[in-house]
Chain A
């Protein structure tokens, strides 16, 4: 009888996440019965360099040589193509040519969504019943995903406005009211203030999540497109998000030229 009950439970929960997922893994539950995504996670790819992937190349700072060259990587865009509208494609090229000057990450600006997820820094998920807080080591960026009845953003912001819900095993986050000042990567991939992102987080094993983001922006793209990648749990016993308050690392770049000139 007990075995029968257990089996029924298992059979019942498998089909839901199977759609779109290679393998159906049933993640342990939180005390209130939701998939438990708590933890410190990190992407391990080069999406922050270029969503579409790139061959290795010389870095922008000669002095740093091989320490800060551009690493090679395969892309994370499904179907490889980002469907820019013609005018937007030209702007993307211009961005790419001037990325060191224009990329908001160079200036330590808040990264927006989805870029926060695949920056080369860990982020932490803290999950309660009403809210899921995601905080990112980079710039101490943070957002609170509202898991109750969806609410409307009071204003546009760098990190956007997140409403979430569960679809079986998957946390679905609808992100709106993102400003136009963030980028997707160093390669100048960008968006407008009409950006709408739908993220899906699904545990694929005890220590990995499948992450997908559908990106929609009718001012810049001809159709919605999708990125996907695994996120890995940082399993070190002592792992913590540390402080990366980067304004001070960008100050010389931003304000150095305004330093008082030595008087003679």
Chain B
């Protein structure tokens, strides 16, 4: 019994020490440029992990109706007013969807799927809670135009594959091959209708980001260490991070030339910022730059919503009958074409 008393005294002392150390990052919070830039800064003290860092742990979903790029008619309007936002949400619930909402793949699947099973029926779907008119921030609200050399690079690659789409697995998209699923990619863009969960588990010195889709996991060291050597290229690059006030900043380089995020090249540089803006919201903001693809960096913001798990296992490659079926079909078609030609 005495032992227990000693143990809890020690735990208490530890707790006090961590409470004290926790003050330091909190002081820097007000100055956080991320909080200022978003225009949503409120007095919000995020809960702390036992080691004193801001606690981002949980299961977060990024489903949203807000489109990536701003509808043309809105010009430089970055935010809806309260009233506009409320009316728009009401319209959507009645099934009236205009260009202010992006249903993604769900739009084409309404006849095939019961979307309520996928958490994306219109009665539940919501726009980004920050009331932005597009996920991309700034007066333009669109991805900057691609540089001519990048367009040429991408056109050449596409031309090489044209007419050979069904020749081999190598000609199939990375998503079909279970190498990079669309929603597994970083930066994380909202999924159309499902598998848009991110589970964060946080330990001392590391934050792990586990995407439901294709069980893609990044373990981010937060000690400010440098990137791995430049010659080591990875599909999802190399991510390292640090805390800036209450914000986790993750810096990613070392992408492969074939990763091609929206046509990017291997100089792609991604900076992601994760911060909590209230109990139920994880604000995800990212900036991408690639001097060989766009003439300037561009930034988007996606509020992610706390959600209940569980996160399911998404084993893509293990159940991939798609590649086999597609190629087998193509070979049968080849044979039939050859027979026809021989006649």
Interface residues of A (CB under 8 A from B): 5, 8-9, 11-13, 29-33, 36, 38, 108-110, 124-133, 135, 139-142, 144, 151, 154-155, 157-159, 181, 238, 240-243, 245, 247-248, 250-251, 254-256, 258-261
Contact B334 A30 (CB under 8 A): no
- Is B94 interfacial (CB-CB < 8 Å)? no
Contact B50 A126 (CB under 8 A): no
- Is B202 interfacial (CB-CB < 8 Å)? yes
Contact A141 B324 (CB under 8 A): no
Residue ID in chain B nearest A181 by CB atoms: B318
Q: Which 3 A-B pairs have the closest CB atoms?
A: A12-B3, A31-B50, A258-B327
A8-B2, A9-B10, A260-B331 given; A144·B204 CB < 8 A: no
Give the shortest distance, in Å, between A38 (CB) and chain B (any CB).
5
Contact B317 A247 (CB under 8 A): yes
Contact A251 B334 (CB under 8 A): no
List residues 185-244 of chain B with CB under 8 A from any CB of chain A: 199, 201-208, 210, 215-217, 219, 221, 225, 228, 232, 234-236, 238
A141-B215, A157-B313 given; A243·B235 CB < 8 A: yes
Contact A144 B331 (CB under 8 A): no
Contact B201 A126 (CB under 8 A): yes
A135-B219, A140-B215, A144-B199 given; A261·B313 CB < 8 A: no
Interface centre among A125, A159, A248 (most CB of B within 10 A): A248
Q: Is the interface of B mostly helix, strand, loop or mixed?
A: mixed
Which listed segment binds A: B73-81, B115-123, B166-174, B292-300? B166-174
Contact B311 A144 (CB under 8 A): yes
Contact A247 B215 (CB under 8 A): no
What string of 1s and 0s marks CB contacts (under 8 Å) between B22-58 and chain A?
A: 0000000000000000000000000001111000010
Give the shortest distance, in Å, between B313 (CB) and chain A (any CB).
4
Residue ID in chain B nearest A239 by CB atoms: B221
Contact B177 A247 (CB under 8 A): yes
CA of A27 to CA of B248 in the docked complex: distance in angstroms?
29
* Cβ–Cβ < 8 Å partners of A124 in chain B: 206, 208, 219
CA of A142 to CA of B201 in the docked complex: distance in angstroms?
12
CA of A13 to CA of B10 in the docked complex: distance in angstroms?
13
- Is B18 interfacial (CB-CB < 8 Å)? yes
Contact A30 B166 (CB under 8 A): no
Q: Can you report 19 A-B residue pairs in the complex whose CB atoms are below 8 A from each other?
A: A8-B3, A30-B51, A38-B205, A109-B315, A110-B215, A110-B313, A126-B202, A129-B50, A131-B201, A140-B215, A154-B312, A157-B315, A241-B219, A245-B235, A247-B177, A250-B317, A258-B328, A258-B330, A259-B168
* Cβ–Cβ < 8 Å partners of B166 in chain A: 260
- Is B323 interfacial (CB-CB < 8 Å)? yes
A133-B201, A258-B328 given; A108·B317 CB < 8 A: yes
Contact B208 A135 (CB under 8 A): yes
A11-B3, A30-B50 given; A140·B217 CB < 8 A: yes
